[in-house]
Every structure is written in structure tokens, then in C-alpha cells.
Structure 1
Amino acid sequence: MNQPLPHPQLLLFLDALRDRALAADSLNALAFSMANDSHSLLNFRQALVFADHGKRFELLCISGLAKPTEDSPYLVWLQRASRWVASQLTGNEPQWIARSEVEPPPDIADGWAEWWPAGVWCVPMHDAGGRRLGLLLVLLDERPAETLPPMMQGVIKTWAYCWDALQRRRRRLVWRPTRRQTIGALALVAMLLFVPVRQTVLAPAEIVSRDARIVSSPIDGVIERMAVRPNQAVSVGTLLFTLDETSLKSRVEVLSKQVAVADAELMAASQRAFDNPQSKNELTVLGSVAEQRRAELAAVRAQLGRTQVYSPEAGVAVFSDPNDWIGKPVVTGERILQLADPAKPAMLIQLAVADAIALEPGADVTLYLTAYPLAPLHGKIIETSYQAKASEDGIVAYRLLASVDGERTQARLGLHGTAKLYGKEVSLAYYLLRRPLATVRAWTGL
């Protein structure tokens, strides 16, 4: 007896499914079409598309939802359920698996009772050689009609063909070398590891004066006024700063009166010495006291004359904000500022201990200033410290001083940048593995 022909609308719908599969430009797009576009025909609760990777099944798409990225309990259970369902398939044809007809493991049975309906229609996808590419699991409340699988054969074959073609194209895009190419590449890498390269390291640097003179406080006191501004050019004899004179002037006034009293007592003793011989003995003591008072007064007046500090030579005054110094107590010899010669610039480099390499005086240095990144400065190391000290940033570093050779137009005092220091030649393997090996030795002690 002849079977009735499918409705024309159904044929058009199946043809549209094939067209959408052929139009997919990636495996994820094909999986999305398989899981969502067939809902009008199958009326399922949910459709799941898995890629078969042998012992593992990768979830590509869930109908009606974007693929979750978190490991929810349902997704974790789906990994086990997909493997079990795949083990129940006995051929290349679609197969209906009803819950009432199988005895899944307890963990699969519990999840099925919670998340899945009465049955699963399993549609395997195979390539031309019979290798399974993936699975389409359609969750239904009842078995699909007997006429549905034959009508879907063309669509299923189109899905499998497109799946295989998209996988082949992806494999072509991902180049995989042959064994000979791999061995050749490894040999080339091994040879490159012995290529000599010059060891380099980067470190922060600053332009300073190679010939700088420290100006310190001549006496104990309090800074009253800074007469110059930071980075101001000064000449010989320029007033730099003054100390407060209030206490010194008071001591001068007190000592002046003490000198007058001592002189008066000495004069009175001298007059009494004419009539009283015993007063002659007092003259020596009172004379010494008067000389002591005069010496103290002269010392305080000398200190009073040193409250104004003048520049001993020409240069640029280098110090911090003047407001940080005004009213600050200082002691004798405390550094207040520097007089730097801008005509003798140098590079002050802080090389962190973790980045230290073997450097000797005369090693090349290239400084890339932040203000002039396209005009690097070149020089050579002239001083190195053998003891690392903590910098203002709290980083233990070595202090290096390098000259500035050639053009010095951009070498202005105070500019910062990054210095590249050049050491001796080493193999490329040592250059690349020096830091990792040092870290491993620090952790393991080997």
C-alpha cells in the first residue's frame, strides 16, 4: 500500500533545515542550528549537541540557552550522562531510549528523574568513514512518530556532512608539522640556544650632576627662609638660606651684659688693690672671668655671622620643596641642598638586586628618557657600588653612575628614564634561563 506523501510545508521546512546547516560557518553555528531550528518539527523539551572526543563529550549547545561557562550541577551530570547514553547506542541510526526500558546507574537515574523527561531520542552523527562525530540528544515526553526518522534522514546526513566539513577546515587552518619538521625545528632551536648574545638588563635612572657639592648647615638652628628656588641657577656669593637668629641674638645680649659686669668687677678690684693687698689676689681670677665672657661673646657673634649661608661656587640649587625646610630644626653638618654643575651630567642608575648582572666600569649604557624617548643618551659606567641599599621605593638596589657621552642637549638635571645596561656575551640559553634558574634555586636550595 502506498504511504501518503509528506505535506509540502513539511518538505519546505526540511529543506530550510538543510540550507541553514549548509550556511553555518563554524561548528558552534551548526550546533546552534541543530539544537534550535528543529523545535517546530520535534516539539522537544530540550535539545543538546555534544562533540565526540573519544573518552570525553564536549557540550556545544543547549536549545534556548547560551552555553553556560560555570560548572553547574546539571552540566557536571551531563558529562556523565552523555557518556552513558553514547554507550547505549547500537548502530549509526537514530535510537529512542525510554527511561522505563533501561536501568541506568544510580547517579544517572537520579539526574534523569530530576532533569530529563520520559525519554531521549539519540541522533548520532558519523563521517563518511563511520567515525562518530557527535550526538544530538532530543528530550521528549513520548516516542517520536514512526514516519519522522525516515523524513529526517536527509537532514541528519546534511548535519553530519557539514560537521565533517567544518572539522576538516578547522584542521587545515591549524597547521600540524610532520615528524621530520618537528625534529628539524627542535634541532634549529637547540642550535639557536648556543648563539652568543650580549647580556642586558633594564633599570630606572635619573640625570644628576657628576660634580655636585653638598651645602650643609654650619650650626645648629632652625631654617628661617630659603632664598633660592629648586633648580635655580646661582652664582658665587648668592644667598642660599638663612637660619633663625632669635636665640643667638638673645645670647649675644646676655653675654654682652655679663662681659660688662665682669669688667666692672675687675675695675673695682683694681681700685681696692691700692688700699687692700688681699684684693690683688682677686685680680687674676676676675681677669680670667672677663676674658672667658669675651670669648663666649665672640663665639656666639661668630655663629650669628654664619646664619646666612652663601653659595661657595656657581651651579644649580638642587633640593626639595622650600616649604619642607622652613621652620625645620637642623644640626651642624646636616645636608640642606646640593650645588650641581649642569655642564657635567651623569646617569644615576638604581639596579635592583633581582636584576643584577656582572657589570664592570666601562660597560655601555643607553638611557631612554621619559621626556625624550626617541633621543636616547649613551655613556659608560664609571662607578659601581658593591653594597646594595634600599632605595626610597623600598627596593634593594645597587647604585651605578654612568657618564653621558656625545650630545647632551636633552641631559637636563632631574629627568628620569629607563637605562639599558650591557654586560658580557653569554649563550642564548643562559640569557633566557638565568632568571628562572635563579628562582628555582631560591625555592629549592639546589
Structure 2
Amino acid sequence: MTVNRPLPDPQLLLQLDALRDKAMAAETLGALAFSMANDLYPLLPFHQALVFEQGKVGFELLCVSGLAKPSEDSPYLVWLKRASRWLAERLTEPGPAWLTLTNAQPPEDIAEGWSEWWPTGLWCLPLHANAKRLGVLVLLLEHPPAPQVFQQLDGLVRTWAYCWAALTRRRQRGRWRPSRRQLLLTLLIGAGLLLVPVRQTALAPAQIVSRQAQIVSSPIDGVIAQVLVRPNQPVEAGTPLFSLDETTLRSRAEVLGKEVAVADAELQAASQRAFDNPQSKSELTLLQGRAQQRRAELAAVQAQLRRTQVLAPAAGVAVFSDPNDWLGKPVSTGERIMHVADPAQPAMLIQLAVADAIALDAGAEVTLFLTAYPLNPLKGRVLETSYQARPGDDGVVAYRLLASIDQQAEHARLGLHGTAKLYGGRVMLGYYLLRRPLATLRAWSGW
């Protein structure tokens, strides 16, 4: 006797066929998961659908029905991460499973969240390919589905699994992973490159100075009254550079001049009295010494007055800052005011930081890249280096190096700044790259 089974509803077949078409048209795994979580609702109404991907440890949430991108810090998703780990351990069979609080018996923390966020049961539809679980679709339902429902959805679930496996392979093909042979070959090439000899170099700030520069300092204590030259102005030997205020010295000279006149008058009067008064003869020596003392003091003040006008010691260029910075400023004897530099003998003044210092041979090569002329570097060689590093104006402890400029360049003007590249001996590329990290490691570890 033949049993006639009822044919499926044509409308159901059309809907299943449309879902298969959407699955086949998905270009990414996220698009496929979104279709699985949302497009099944017309056929099987549910409270919520969750799509998980099988990870190394447990399930990883891909999509939640009704949400384009769930908020990761919501309390529900925080609890759902814990629940997914428990669910991955609970689902061991390849077929669909109906789980409730009664038959699943979850832990206490999972059961509390289940009672708060989930309905009575979970219908879990695992997706497999080549005996490997790819993921799972979890439908939150109040009642278990009828047995014929899975028969109707079995073909759709297989289509989802096939598309999932294809998209996963495509994603894995996009990630290139080298083979062991390629890794070994890369390591050998890298090790060989580290042994290649290269020229050791270092970069340091530098400026152009003169090899023949004389310091012009204040000859006496006083106040600068006038600066007679401009910065970088050419001067000749004997050209007035600046002058000090003479008011105090002239007043002192006038007072001493009167004191000299008084001392001379007292000496002359005592000399006249000495003919008749023997006691006046004993005062002559004292008065004569006092007159000489006043004359010596007057001569000293007059000498200081002549030194208030400071002249250029040699021909060159006056190198100093803004004249307004010096006008009215008190200065002491020997305080540096400016330089008189010879522009015909330029040189490089290099400040090599201690952290960047390298071993330099005598006459090491130097290339200076000026900020104003970056395409016209200047070549030279190291002339002298400081024995001890000292902190500069910027607080960086550095060695002071002086280097020559080989060619006569018009743009080698005094005061220009740039970056100097110093060339040392040849070392291996590995040492060149790891020198500073190794020095830092030794300073930190003491090894």
C-alpha cells in the first residue's frame, strides 16, 4: 500500500529558493551571517537569531538579528560571550539540538542570564563541511519546532554550510602565508645582509663659523651705551664696535683732578714753611706721597676712560645678536659681547650628541646639508674634537667638533645652520642597525 505524502507548499518552496539565492550571492561571511539571522523570520518566527563562527577556543559572535553592528560593551553581549563558550562545549552532535533550562542544565551565571534575556528554548542548527564545524545558527523560540520543519530547512542549511566554506577558503586565500622553505630562505638572506659591510655614519646639528674668530669682550665694568656696528657688518682693524657709558668715570676724574690740585697746593705751602719751621719738613714726605697717589688714581681713571671705546682687533665681520639686547645692559670685565670673524676662512661647528657618537678617524669626512641650500652640500674633514662632552644651550650633552670646508662656496655664509653627516669606518650592517639598541640594552641591564 502506497502512502501519499502531502506536497510542500509552493510558496514555501519559492521562499526557500530565494534564501538559497541570497546565500549564493553573498560576497563576504558577514553578509551571509546577516542573511541567516534576518531572512529566515518569515518562515519561522523567532524572538532572536544568533550566528556564531567556530573559533579556536569557542564561538565568536558574527551577527544578531535586527542589529547591523551590536555594541560590544552592552551587558547582554558581555554575558553572551560567556554563554557562547558554554554553548560550544554543550553542542557536540552534528545535528540540530533543542536546549532548555531543564535538559541543558547550564551553570548558575548562564542560567540567570537565560532567564533574563532568552525565552524557553534554543534551537541550534550547526553548519558542517568536511566533518568540520564551521559555525552555528541559534534561534530563540518559545516552543520546539515541528519535526518536518528541519526536513524543509535541511537543504537551506546545507547551502549555508557550502557558502560558508567557500567564503572561508576565499578569505584564507587572501592571507598569504609563507612556507617553511620561504621562511628559511628569507632568514638566510636577512642574515647575509646583516654581514654586508657599510659605512658607519652619524647625523648632528651644525653651523658655519670662522676658523679665525676673535672674541671681543668688555675691557672694564660698566654699562653699554652704544653699539656702533650692525650684526654681520664688515669691519676693519681699529673700527669702533661699541662704547661704554662714561658718566661715572668722568665724574670720578673731575673729583680726582680737584683732589690733585688740593694736594699740590698743600705740598707747595708746606715747602714754603719748611724754611722757617723745622716741623713742616717732616710733613713734606707725607704730602708728596699723597699728591702722587692722587695723580696715580687720576691716571687710572683716565686710562679707563680711553678704554670705554672698544675697537675691532682685526678685519672681519662683527658677529653678535640684536644690538637692542645690549643697549643699557651692565657688563663685567671680560664678558663676551661679540666676535670678529674672518668670512674668508669658514668652517663647520658640529655638536655631536653623546648618544649618536661614533668612532671617527683623524680627518674623517663630513658632509654638511644647509637648511637654506639643501641641494648644495658642503664637503669637509674633521679638524679637531673636544675631549669632553658638555651640555649645550638646548641641554643636550654633546661633543664639539670643528671641520674644514674644502671648496670655496658662495653660500657658505657665517651663521647658517644645517645637518652634518659624519662618516666613520666600515662596519657590518647588523652592527650599524643594532648599535644603539644594544647600547641601550647594556645600559639598562648592566650586562
User: Structure 2-normalised TM-score?
Assistant: 0.89
**Distance change >3 Å, CA 276–CA 367, structure 1 → 2:** same
Describe how 1:36-55 pairs up with structure 2 within 5 A: 36-39=38-41, 41-55=43-57
- Alignment match, 2:171: 170
Q: Give the 5 Å matches for 1:28-427.
A: 28-39=30-41, 41-63=43-65, 64-68=67-71, 74-127=76-129, 129-144=130-145, 146-406=147-407, 408-427=409-428
The number of residues matched between the two structures is: 443
SS in 2 for 1:278: helix
> Hey, what's the Cα distance between the residues in 2 that align with 1:185 and 1:252?
87
The one-character-per-residue Cα deviations of 1:343-398 (angstroms, maximum 9, x if unpaired) are: 32222222222222212332222222333333332222222122111121212121
Change (3 A) 1:394 1:171: same
Q: Which runs of 4 or more aligned residues in structure 1 lie more than 6 Å from their structure 2 counterparts after TM superposition?
A: none
Which ranges in structure 2 are unaligned for 5 or more consecutive residues? none
What amino acid is aligned across from residue 340 of structure 1 in structure 2? A
Change in 2 beyond 3 A, CA 1:218/1:181: same
Question: Which stretch has the larger CA shift, 417-426 or 153-162?
Answer: 153-162
Listed one character per residue, the Cα deviations across residues 222-242 of structure 1 (whole Å, up to 9, x for unaligned) are 222323333333333333222
Aligned mates of 1:136, 1:353 — CA distance in 2: 64
Following the alignment from structure 2 to structure 1, what is the Cα–Cα distance between the partners of residues 295 and 262? 11
Q: Separation in 2 of the partners of 1:255 and 1:395?
A: 52
Q: In 1, distance between residues paired with 2:245 and 2:379?
A: 45
Between 142-151 and 193-202, report the one with greater CA deviation: 142-151
- The alpha-carbon distance between structure 1 residues 24 and 210, as it changes in their structure 2 partners (threshold 3 A), is farther
Amino acid in structure 2 at the alignment position of 1:107: D
Report the residue type matching 1:163 in the other structure: W
1:135-160 deviation per Cα after TM superposition (whole angstroms, max 9, x unaligned): 33333444345554344334433332
Quote the Cα distance in structure 1 between the aligned partners of 2:370 and 2:63: 54
Q: By how many angstroms is 1:341 displaced?
A: 2.5
CA positional deviation for 1:217:
0.6
CA displacement at 1:273 relative to structure 2 = 2.1
Q: What is the RMSD computed on CA atoms of the aligned residues?
A: 2.6
Q: Are the equivalent residues in 2 in contact too, given 1:361–1:384 (CA < 8 A)? A: no
Q: 1:273 to 1:163 in 2, by over 3 A?
A: same
**Structure 1 unpaired stretches of 5+:** none
User: Which letter does structure 1 place at the counterpart of 2:109?
Assistant: D
Instruction: Return closer, same or farther for 1:40/1:416 CA change in 2, 3 Å cut-off.
Output: farther
- Is structure 2 residue 5 aligned with structure 1 residue 5? no
CA offsets 1:276-296 (integer angstroms, 9 cap, x no match)? 233233223222211211111
Q: Which amino acid aligns with 1:28?
A: G
Deviation at 1:309, TM superposition (A): 1.5
When normalised by structure 1's length, the TM-score is: 0.90
How many angstroms apart in 2 are the aligned matches of 1:200 and 1:69?
Answer: 50
Query: How has the CA–CA distance of structure 1 residues 315 and 111 changed in structure 2, closer, same or farther, with 3 Å as cutoff?
Result: farther
Q: Judging changes above 3 Å, is the alpha-carbon distance between structure 1 residues 171 and 405 closer, same or farther for their aligned structure 2 residues?
A: farther
